[in-house]
């Protein structure tokens, strides 16, 4: 029930229209890139899905991460406005349940973006390449993994936003996190586990077996972030 309640709360914020708009913008990247540089990409050797992802995924992932940052700020800003969070904590509510519900709302909004992006990649494959059945399966696996890899940064931004009354503070932290990904080397596996860096990885560019390692990394980070948020929420409630 808490998830449906959170969905009602975000209706007036424009969260889903914003994610839909960003999804359409992200979907336009591969289509536009292929339309203007068709000869370049169609003449490349190798898997068509790998060519498409290597050429477009970094920009698409940047939009995804940026929207996660914005979305995390929005879902908690509505609680802090008019001291709603203070009033809520005087009631016998489950703060962890609220946090989990907000993360599910963010994940559903990100899923909407992923659907639009998948449709764009599928159109590019169908229109400019001659994909086999294996390519379609690879596309589904790639987009599914992209959603999983976005979970740590989503949890992190929701946790940061739950601790910051001022939305601009949490937004600033998120933007700094995005810029840090430019500094962190992309070659090392451990550095790739930085939450803001994970969404920039795509299955087509990974070595064999590396996807499983990333999944274990996502699981570990999710447990750590979730536990840290649970501890913070308990401390905050007891202090107040």
Q: What is the pLDDT of residue 141?
A: 93
Residue 162 belongs to domain spanning: 2-239
Counted domains in the chain? 1
**pLDDT higher for 134 or 240?**
134
What is the per-residue pLDDT across 205-229, written as a single tens digit (0 to 9) for each?
A: 887 778 899 999 999 999 999 999 8
What is the per-residue pLDDT across 19-48, written as a single tens digit (0 to 9) for each?
A: 999 999 999 999 999 988 888 887 877 788
What is the per-residue pLDDT across 106-156, written as a single tens digit (0 to 9) for each?
A: 999 999 999 999 999 999 999 888 788 888 999 999 999 999 999 999 999
Mean pLDDT of 77-94: 65
Q: What is the pLDDT of residue 91?
A: 59
Residues shown for the chain = 240
Q: What is the pLDDT of residue 118?
A: 95
Q: What is the pLDDT of residue 86?
A: 58
Dihedral sign, CA of 86, 10, 69, 195?
positive
pTM of the predicted structure, to 2 decimals? 0.90
Would the pLDDT of 173 be above 70?
Answer: yes
- What gap in Å lies between CA 151 and CA 104, rounded to an integer? 10
CA-atom Rg of the chain in angstroms:
19
């Amino acid at each position: 029930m808490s998830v449906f309640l959170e969905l009602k709360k975000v209706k007036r914020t424009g969260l889903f229209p914003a994610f839909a708009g960003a999804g359409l913008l992200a979907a336009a990247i591969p289509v536009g890139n292929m339309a203007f540089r068709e000869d370049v990409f169609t003449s490349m050797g190798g898997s068509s899905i790998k060519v498409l992802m290597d050429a477009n995924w970094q920009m698409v992932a940047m939009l995804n991460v940026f929207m996660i940052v914005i979305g995390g700020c929005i879902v908690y800003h509505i609680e802090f406005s008019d001291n709603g969070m203070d009033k809520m904590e005087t009631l016998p509510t489950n703060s962890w349940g609220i946090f989990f519900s907000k993360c599910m709302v963010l994940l559903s909004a990100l899923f909407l973006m992923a659907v639009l992006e998948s449709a764009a990649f599928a159109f590019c494959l169908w229109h400019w390449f001659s994909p086999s059945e294996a390519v379609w399966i690879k596309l589904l696996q790639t987009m599914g993994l992209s959603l999983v890899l976005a979970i740590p940064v989503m949890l992190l931004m929701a946790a940061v936003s739950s601790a910051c009354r001022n939305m601009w503070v949490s937004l600033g932290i998120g933007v700094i996190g995005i810029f840090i990904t430019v500094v962190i080397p992309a070659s090392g596996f451990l550095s790739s586990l930085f939450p803001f860096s994970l969404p920039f990885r795509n299955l087509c560019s990974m070595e064999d077996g590396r996807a499983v390692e990333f999944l274990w990394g996502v699981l570990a980070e999710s447990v750590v972030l979730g536990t840290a948020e649970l501890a913070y929420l308990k401390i905050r409630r007891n202090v107040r």
